[in-house]
């Protein structure tokens, strides 16, 4: 599988960023612009591509077999990492599933679906099951699971319509139907967990692993 044009080459452009080893190459197996921006914010050099994985089929099969959201998220993260076909690299696979009162939520396909999803989550807590898996040479070398908890406030119907009009179709690119890094913060009364995990890529544990492996300076 070829990688797309979203290639970040920060290392070497500034002496302050020369803290990354030349090998292995880092690959982010994600089409999420938010995840790409998060990893880029660390100053690391990496390549990103969007893996072709049937997420719906995996989730349906996991539910059918009595599996958990955690198992589904880890499976999807693994499949995304394994989708890379290229040079020897350390590949980062990620997935996130929203769970509220035992119900799994996917990215809303339409604005009407986003409205219904936000109405369902209103005034209730939910968990973002966030899985990260690292592969190198066809072998899994690291796994991490985070479960930040977010509680939506009881917002008015008028606020919801104003919020949706302001955000537009950006709502359709998030599993929660919101962007907590933007206007979506106004939806919440409480948030428990690391911000980067909420956004889909837990940076602190990931960077810690890179340091233990000598990929970045400690």
SS3 116: helix
- Say how far apart CA 212 and CA 202 lie, in whole Å: 16
| β-bridge pairing 125-136 and 149-152 | antiparallel
Q: Which two tokens stand for residue 95?
A: 């997935």
- Say how far apart CA 176 and CA 3 lie, in whole Å: 27
- Say how far apart CA 146 and CA 69 lie, in whole Å: 12
Residue in 4, 52, 54, 95 annotated catalytic: 95
- Say how far apart CA 132 and CA 143 lie, in whole Å: 6
SS3 34: helix
What residue has token string 């990103």? 48
Is 95 in the active site? yes
Alpha-carbon torsion, ordered 61, 62, 66, 71, to 10 deg: 170
Helices (H), 12-82: 33-40, 55-64, 69-82
Catalytic site residues?
95
């Amino acid at each position: 599988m070829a990688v797309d044009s979203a290639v970040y080459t920060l290392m070497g452009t500034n002496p302050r960023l020369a803290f990354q080893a030349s090998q292995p190459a880092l690959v982010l197996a994600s089409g999420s612009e938010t995840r790409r921006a998060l990893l880029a914010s660390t100053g690391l050099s990496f390549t990103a591509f969007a893996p072709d994985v049937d997420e719906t089929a995996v989730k349906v099969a996991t539910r059918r077999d009595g599996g958990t959201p955690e198992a589904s998220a880890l499976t999807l993260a693994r499949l995304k990492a394994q989708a890379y076909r290229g040079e020897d690299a350390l590949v980062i696979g990620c997935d996130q599933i929203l769970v509220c009162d035992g119900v799994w939520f996917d990215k809303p396909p339409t604005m009407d679906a986003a409205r219904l999803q936000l109405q369902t989550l209103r005034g209730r807590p939910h968990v973002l099951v966030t899985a990260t898996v690292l592969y190198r040479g066809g072998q899994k070398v690291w796994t991490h699971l985070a479960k930040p908890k977010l509680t939506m406030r009881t917002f008015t119907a008028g606020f919801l319509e104003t919020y949706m009009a302001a955000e537009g179709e950006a709502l359709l690119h998030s599993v929660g139907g919101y962007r907590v890094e933007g206007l979506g913060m106004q939806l919440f009364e409480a948030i428990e967990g690391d911000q980067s995990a909420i956004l889909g890529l837990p940076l602190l544990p990931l960077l810690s692993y890179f340091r233990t492996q000598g990929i970045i300076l400690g």
